[in-house]
């Protein structure tokens, strides 16, 4: 009887466990970066894209986002890309392309282990930006 109850509880618990999120894809993030971000941030991600000159606030050097200890600010970057932390640098909030990044929700983790719900394209962009960080 107790085994039957434990089995039932285990099955119920397992059905409530969310499926693991797909891995972040830095290659897909690189393609998204080239298509949506390089115009302002530059092909080399240093903030010197062809549109930088017309922006009120100059684009960030995306190679220098990690702190001195090499910790990448995942939550801040996600919030900036998805619009939760808007940046008005050219008359409209950044990102201009935000709607293209919606959908396919996934969770990624901050360096502290805190999960953040975001879209798969943003997770891929974050994975790519992490590869660019200079030590």
Measuring CA to CA, how many Å separate 79 from each of 39, 50, 62, 118, 135? 20, 24, 15, 9, 23
Report the pLDDT value the prediction gives residue 20, as an integer from 0 to 100: 46
Q: Would you say residue 72 lies in a domain?
A: yes
As a whole number of angstroms, the distance between CA 55 and CA 129 comes to 21
Domain count, the chain: 1
Partnered with residue 105 across adjacent β-strands are 119
3-class SS of residue 116: strand
Per-residue pLDDT tens listing for the chain (135 residues) = 554 444 444 444 444 434 444 578 999 999 999 999 999 999 999 999 999 988 888 899 999 999 999 999 999 999 888 888 877 765 666 666 767 788 789 999 999 999 999 999 999 999 999 999 986
In a domain, 108, yes or no: yes
CATH code for position 94: 1.10.760
Partners of 109 in the β-ladder: 115
- pLDDT value at residue 2: 55
Answering whether pTM is above 0.85, one says no
Q: Is residue 35 part of a domain?
A: yes
Return the pLDDT at 11. Answer: 41
What confidence score (pLDDT) does residue 115 get? 94
pLDDT at 19: 45
Range of the domain at 92: 25-132
């Amino acid at each position: 009887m107790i085994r039957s109850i434990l089995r039932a509880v285990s099955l119920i618990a397992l059905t409530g466990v969310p499926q693991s999120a797909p891995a972040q894809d830095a290659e897909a993030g690189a393609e998204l970066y080239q298509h949506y971000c390089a115009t302002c941030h530059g092909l080399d991600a240093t903030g010197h894209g062809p549109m930088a000159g017309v922006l009120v606030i100059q684009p960030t050097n995306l190679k220098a986002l990690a702190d001195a200890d090499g910790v990448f600010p995942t939550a801040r970057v996600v919030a900036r890309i998805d619009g939760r932390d808007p940046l008005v640098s050219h008359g409209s909030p950044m990102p201009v392309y935000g709607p293209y990044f919606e959908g396919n929700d996934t969770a990624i983790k901050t360096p502290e282990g805190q999960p953040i719900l975001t879209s798969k394209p943003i997770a891929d962009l974050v994975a790519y930006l992490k590869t660019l960080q200079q030590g």
